[in-house]
């Protein structure tokens, strides 16, 4: 079963091919090719044979000698007579004797013919179609008087479909008469009637002996030449026009063609295979071919094809030369080729077809890749194992600043000197340097890839100029390690520097870290705006760098914090000297937009390895030392283990304060303010007090500043406001109506939510907003922060009084206050307290009140400690006084009693309370 299924395909192939070829052959489509094949074979096998043919040619020489034409028949009689004497086997005279001529000549010819015995002379007969129909044939034959002594033979030579004479019909029948062809008769053989005689053009006409007619007539011949031969007499001169178109020789005289035909018959008749035999052969051959081409490889099939065709040609030749059989090779060969083609197409299975499709796609992709490479801005090179550039794209030429053709063939090392072993580099991206032809060096990134499709390994080298990237990297590195404002190294650069210095430090040397914090800088920033602050910082940085000198490393590590690192310290004096110089650097005021700014500094100094074993500790200890300097008001402090206590206190204070707020551990005290117009106390300032079991009494300065530096300031402020409002409500209920002033931290003004929260606190307390006053420090108020101003305006819109606290300590001018929603101004207590001793401060005290009044602001003086101050301030025109001269801040209950007493004394007028009378007397 399997076997038959396997055979099905070759069987179908063979059958259909045989059918196709048979059809083509029957349609005559193959004849022309078959002729060409047989001609080729004839040409190949053309040879002189051992022939008994002698041709007596009526040639050009004969025509020239025997002037007239047609010749008188006595010439022919003479020739026949001479030939007869020479004794040939047969004689064929290819001359038309169908018409009577000169009687004497005709008689001579007749008697010459008659003298031949056995009718061994052949005379031609032929037919000509008069109209084209077979019945209308005009027969041309010798006159009966000649024919009587001779045998008639047909000389008809009909051209085949290619117009060439290739075969001779052996017999012709016309009515009851049958004429045998001359060639058959001259060959002396009986040939089959049906099958035409194929002329074997492989026989060379040179096989025949030629005798010129005129030589025969004039006796110039050897009679033995004709003895026992077949003699053909006929026109060979081209002029006589008896030329036949034939293969191989183009044209041959009719008589030579007849002789060739006769010789072909004599040599052994050429015959084609019979139709059934040929069909059988085709079928067998087709089966053979189909089997041979069963192999699924077009290459092996090609070998099969060559073998089959070779065998076919060989068989044809062998059959021709040994069996006289002509094989029709063309149909057979065609069949073979077709079988090969079909089998090959069939053997191109899907994979092959896909491969072909791929190949077409590949060509497209090749073109695409080429254009990508050509247009790439990256330099792409193809390089041999020995580092010779094979190809380079235009970008490569641009990169190395040369022509493309200079690159090809050049060693890559001429451009990338450090490039080494490609094999080791393959698959990696490395950075190195390259140079142009002119010697300019630039950084590059190289990626090498191996290409394996060719015999020798090639490498693709992609080169990218990374100058720009390197520059960018340097910029980024610079930015990451430097402060953009002052161009000083930043904290991370400091840490890097310290790490390096610590590693390099010798045992007998130290590294000094100086942490420098600016004093009053925050005020500059808040008051004059950030742009002035920035300018101040830049100037400070410049001065520090100058003061620090080459050996020290200056960095900016925070808003107004700088560090100076000094390595290889062997002597404490060097450090002291350095901090001295830093201090001196800020002695000259810094220009803050027209105002000379006095910026102070506090320096904390820690030493490695004496004070700290590592960077973090070194920084922390310098910070502690700096804090101590700030507290003590000294310019610099060395770290001291004892100081750690202080930093611990700060740390614990934060958590303590947090729980203090939550646990209501804080207290609010109230300090009365005396209204100089009514003489009564109509307001108090709420001041925070905190006493902690562990920390003791903590100054509000200290813990408020601490709260400001953490997020505790918000709950602290809200606690204070709630307390103050509650107190106000209670006092009001007890019949004491005083405004309560609450201090607001500058930080709170940054919180846009604050006005809303204050409003809800006021609402919750049920107290009128007019009972509340907010004290905001001058610097917070003057801040150019748009947000702070907005918050202040919103607070004012709530109906709350706003006063400026500590007026005179900032850098603002009075004119600036005009646009602010402020009702009162509290001159800083330092001016008041110093007024008695310093005339300058007295002037400030006096001028401030005048200007404030001009701006319709009420003025409060705090820090009123004595009688003199009361007199002076009253005379100056102040509206309110506050200070220890009257009362310090008191717990609520005490304050209540104090105020009630004070006011009652004022109301009853006599005796006038002591402070008031003293003011009166001062004026008097």
d(CA 377, CA 399): 9
| Options 122-130, 271-279, 387-395, 680-688: segment touching ligand C2E (CB under 6 A) | 680-688
656 touching ligand C2E, by CB under 6 A: no
Identified binder of ligand C2E from the candidate list 198, 745, 812, 848, rule CB under 6 A:
745
Tokens read off for 626:
């700096």
| Options 47-55, 91-99, 589-597, 862-870: segment touching ligand C2E (CB under 6 A) | 862-870
State the minimum distance, in angstroms, from the CB of residue 764 to Ca ion. Answer: 24
State the minimum distance, in angstroms, from the CB of residue 731 to Ca ion. Answer: 19
Sequence-separated (6 or more) residues with CB below 8 Å from residue 76: 93, 95, 109, 112
State the minimum distance, in angstroms, from the CB of residue 884 to Ca ion. Answer: 13
Identify what 96 binds: ligand C2E, Ca ion, none; CB under 5 to 8 Å per kind.
none
523 touching ligand C2E, by CB under 6 A: no
862 touching ligand C2E, by CB under 6 A: yes
Q: Are 83 and 216 in contact (CB under 8 A)?
A: yes
Q: Give the dihedral sign, CA 62/65/70/75.
A: negative
* Residues shown for the chain: 924
Closer to ligand C2E by CB, 30 or 721: give it: 721
Q: Are 236 and 59 in contact (CB under 8 A)?
A: yes
| Options 146-154, 503-511, 755-763, 863-871: segment touching ligand C2E (CB under 6 A) | 863-871
852 closest CA partner among 873, 810, 812, 823: 823
- Mark residues 771-810: x for contact with ligand C2E by CB under 6 A, - for none: ----------------------------------xx----
To 5 degrees, how large is the angle CA 469–CA 473–CA 476?
135
Q: For residues 105-164, which are near ligand C2E according to CB under 6 A?
A: none
Give the nearest residue (CB) to ligand C2E: 883
Identify what 865 binds: Ca ion, ligand C2E, none; CB under 5 to 8 Å per kind.
ligand C2E
738 closest CA partner among 858, 870, 568, 902: 902
Identify what 915 binds: Ca ion, ligand C2E, none; CB under 5 to 8 Å per kind.
none
Closer to ligand C2E by CB, 198 or 743: give it: 743
d(CA 870, CA 867): 5
Q: Are 721 and 742 in contact (CB under 8 A)?
A: yes
Tokens read off for 702:
């200290």
State the minimum distance, in angstroms, from the CB of residue 886 to ligand C2E. Answer: 8
Closer to Ca ion by CB, 393 or 671: give it: 671
328 touching ligand C2E, by CB under 6 A: no
Burial 607-617 (b: 16+ CB within 10 A, else e): bbeebbeebee
863 touching ligand C2E, by CB under 6 A: yes
Identified binder of ligand C2E from the candidate list 700, 715, 769, 821, rule CB under 6 A:
700
State the minimum distance, in angstroms, from the CB of residue 554 to ligand C2E. Answer: 34
State the minimum distance, in angstroms, from the CB of residue 744 to ligand C2E. Answer: 6
Identify what 88 binds: ligand C2E, Ca ion, none; CB under 5 to 8 Å per kind.
none
Going by the DSSP 8-state scheme, the letter that residue 149 receives in this structure is T
State the minimum distance, in angstroms, from the CB of residue 826 to Ca ion. Answer: 6
Closer to ligand C2E by CB, 160 or 700: give it: 700
State the minimum distance, in angstroms, from the CB of residue 689 to ligand C2E. Answer: 7
Beta bridge partners of 802: 774
539 touching ligand C2E, by CB under 6 A: no
Residue 335 φ then ψ, to 5°: -60, -45
State the minimum distance, in angstroms, from the CB of residue 828 to ligand C2E. Answer: 7
State the minimum distance, in angstroms, from the CB of residue 854 to ligand C2E. Answer: 24
Identify what 745 binds: ligand C2E, Ca ion, none; CB under 5 to 8 Å per kind.
ligand C2E
d(CA 343, CA 356): 17
State the minimum distance, in angstroms, from the CB of residue 807 to ligand C2E. Answer: 10
Closer to Ca ion by CB, 343 or 704: give it: 704
To 5 degrees, how large is the angle CA 829–CA 835–CA 840?
110
Q: Are 709 and 747 in contact (CB under 8 A)?
A: no
Q: What is the contact surface with Ca ion in residues (CB under 5 A)?
A: 743, 775, 805-806
Closer to ligand C2E by CB, 678 or 699: give it: 699
How many beta carbons lie within 10 A of that of residue 355, not counting itself? 13
For residue 648, CA distances in Å to 638, 644, 695, 707, 751 come to 17, 6, 11, 16, 30
State the minimum distance, in angstroms, from the CB of residue 777 to Ca ion. Answer: 8
Identify what 718 binds: Ca ion, ligand C2E, none; CB under 5 to 8 Å per kind.
none
d(CA 128, CA 136): 9
- Mark residues 871-910: x for contact with ligand C2E by CB under 6 A, - for none: ------------xx---xx---------------------
Identify what 701 binds: Ca ion, ligand C2E, none; CB under 5 to 8 Å per kind.
ligand C2E
Q: Return the residue matching tokens 């904290």.
A: 491
State the minimum distance, in angstroms, from the CB of residue 530 to ligand C2E. Answer: 23
Long-range own/partner contacts, residues 480-489 (CB < 8 A, 24 or more apart): 483/555, 483/556, 485/534, 485/537, 485/538, 485/541, 485/556, 486/537, 486/538, 486/540, 486/541, 486/542, 486/556, 487/541, 488/541, 488/545, 488/554, 488/555, 488/556, 488/562, 489/553, 489/554, 489/555, 489/556
Closer to Ca ion by CB, 327 or 822: give it: 822
Cis peptide before 412 (omega within 30 of 0): no
Closer to Ca ion by CB, 230 or 671: give it: 671
Tokens read off for 433:
């340097």
Going by the DSSP 8-state scheme, the letter that residue 200 receives in this structure is -
Q: For residues 701-740, which are near ligand C2E according to CB under 6 A?
A: 701, 704, 720
Tokens read off for 200:
């074997």
State the minimum distance, in angstroms, from the CB of residue 805 to ligand C2E. Answer: 5
Closer to Ca ion by CB, 18 or 802: give it: 802
Q: Which residues bind ligand C2E (CB under 6 A)?
A: 671, 686-688, 699-701, 704, 720, 743-745, 805-806, 829, 862-865, 883-884, 888-889
């Amino acid at each position: 079963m399997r076997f038959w299924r396997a055979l099905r395909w070759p069987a179908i192939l063979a059958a259909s091919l045989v059918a196709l070829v048979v059809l083509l052959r029957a349609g005559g489509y193959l004849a022309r090719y078959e002729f060409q094949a047989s001609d080729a074979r004839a040409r190949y096998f053309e040879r002189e044979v051992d022939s008994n043919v002698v041709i007596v040619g009526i040639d050009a020489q004969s025509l020239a000698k025997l002037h007239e034409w047609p010749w008188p028949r006595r010439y022919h009689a003479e020739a026949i007579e001479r030939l007869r004497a020479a004794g040939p086997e047969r004689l064929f005279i290819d001359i038309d004797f169908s018409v009577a001529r000169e009687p004497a000549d005709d008689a001579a010819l007749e008697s010459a013919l008659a003298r031949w015995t056995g009718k061994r002379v052949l005379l031609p007969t032929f037919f000509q179609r008069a109209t084209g129909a077979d019945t209308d044939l005009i027969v041309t034959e010798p006159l009966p008087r000649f024919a009587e002594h001779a045998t008639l033979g047909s000389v008809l030579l009909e051209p085949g479909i290619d117009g060439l004479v290739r075969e001779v019909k052996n017999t012709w029948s016309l009515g009851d008469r049958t004429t045998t062809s001359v060639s058959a008769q001259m060959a002396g053989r009986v040939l089959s009637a049906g099958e035409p005689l194929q002329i074997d053009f492989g026989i060379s006409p040179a096989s025949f002996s030629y005798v010129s007619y005129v030589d025969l007539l004039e006796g110039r011949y050897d009679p033995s030449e004709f003895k026992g031969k077949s003699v053909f007499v006929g026109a060979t001169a081209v002029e006589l026009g008896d030329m036949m178109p034939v293969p191989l020789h183009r044209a041959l005289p009719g008589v030579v063609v007849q002789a060739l035909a006769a010789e072909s018959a004599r040599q052994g008749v050429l015959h084609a295979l019979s139709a059934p035999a040929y069909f059988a052969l085709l079928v067998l051959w087709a089966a053979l071919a189909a089997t041979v081409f069963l192999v699924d490889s077009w290459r092996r099939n090609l070998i099969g094809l060559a073998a089959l065709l070779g065998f076919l040609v060989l068989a044809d030749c062998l059959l021709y030369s040994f069996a006289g059989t002509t094989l029709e090779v063309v149909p057979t060969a065609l069949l073979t080729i077709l079988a090969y083609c079909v089998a090959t197409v069939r053997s191109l299975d899907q994979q092959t077809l896909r491969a072909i499709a791929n190949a077409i796609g590949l060509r497209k992709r090749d073109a695409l890749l080429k254009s990508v490479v050509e247009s790439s801005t990256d330099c792409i090179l193809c390089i041999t194992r020995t580092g010779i550039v094979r190809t380079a794209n235009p970008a490569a030429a641009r990169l190395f600043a040369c022509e493309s053709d200079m690159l090809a063939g050049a060693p890559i090392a001429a451009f990338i000197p450090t490039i080494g072993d490609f094999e080791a580099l393959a698959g990696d991206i490395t950075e190195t340097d390259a140079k142009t032809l002119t010697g300019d060096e630039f950084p590059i990134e190289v990626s090498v890839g191996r290409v394996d499709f060719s015999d020798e390994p090639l490498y693709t080298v992609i080169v990218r100029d990374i100058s720009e990237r390197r520059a960018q990297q340097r910029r980024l590195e610079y930015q990451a390690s430097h402060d953009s404002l002052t161009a000083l190294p930043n904290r991370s650069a400091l840490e890097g520097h310290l790490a390096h210095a610590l590693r390099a430090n010798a045992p007998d040397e130290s590294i000094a870290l100086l942490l420098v914090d600016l004093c009053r800088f925050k005020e500059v920033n808040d008051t004059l705006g950030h742009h002035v602050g920035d300018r101040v910082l830049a100037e400070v940085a410049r001065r520090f760098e100058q003061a620090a000198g080459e050996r020290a490393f200056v960095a900016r590590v925070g808003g107004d914090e700088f560090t100076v690192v000094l390595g290889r310290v062997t002597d404490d004096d060097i450090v002291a000297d350095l901090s001295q110089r830093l201090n001196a650097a800020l002695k000259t005021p810094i220009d803050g937009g027209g105002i000379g700014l006095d910026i102070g500094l506090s320096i904390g100094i820690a030493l490695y390895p004496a004070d700290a074993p590592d960077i973090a500790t070194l920084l922390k200890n310098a910070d502690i030392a700096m804090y101590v300097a700030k507290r003590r008001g000294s310019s610099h402090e060395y770290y001291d283990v004892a100081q750690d206590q202080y930093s611990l206190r700060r740390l614990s204070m934060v958590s303590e304060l947090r729980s203090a707020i939550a646990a209501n551990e804080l207290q609010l005290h109230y300090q009365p303010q005396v209204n100089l117009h009514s003489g009564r106390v109509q307001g108090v300032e709420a001041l925070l007090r905190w006493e902690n079991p562990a920390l003791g009494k903590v100054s509000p300065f200290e813990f408020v500043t601490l709260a400001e530096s953490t997020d505790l300031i918000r709950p602290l402020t809200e606690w204070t406001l709630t307390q103050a409002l509650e107190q106000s409500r209670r006092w009001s209920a007890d019949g004491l109506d005083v405004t309560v002033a609450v201090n607001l931290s500058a930080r709170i003004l940054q919180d846009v939510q604050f006005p809303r929260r204050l409003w809800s606190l006021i609402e919750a307390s049920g107290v009128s907003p007019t009972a509340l006053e907010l004290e905001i420090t001058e610097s917070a108020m003057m801040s150019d922060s748009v947000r702070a101003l907005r918050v202040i305006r919103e607070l004012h819109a709530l109906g709350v009084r706003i006063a400026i606290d500590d007026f005179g300590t900032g850098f603002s001018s009075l004119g600036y206050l005009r646009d602010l929603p402020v009702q009162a101004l509290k001159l800083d207590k330092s001016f008041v307290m110093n007024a008695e001793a310093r005339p300058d401060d007295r002037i400030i005290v006096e001028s401030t009140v005048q200007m404030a009044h001009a701006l319709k602001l009420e003025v409060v003086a705090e820090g009123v400690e004595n009688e003199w101050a009361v007199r002076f301030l009253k005379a100056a025109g102040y509206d309110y006084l506050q200070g220890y001269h009257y009362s310090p801040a008191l717990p609520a209950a005490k304050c209540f009693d104090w105020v009630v007493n004070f006011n009652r004394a004022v109301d009853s007028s006599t005796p006038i309370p002591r402070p008031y009378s003293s003011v009166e007397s001062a004026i008097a």
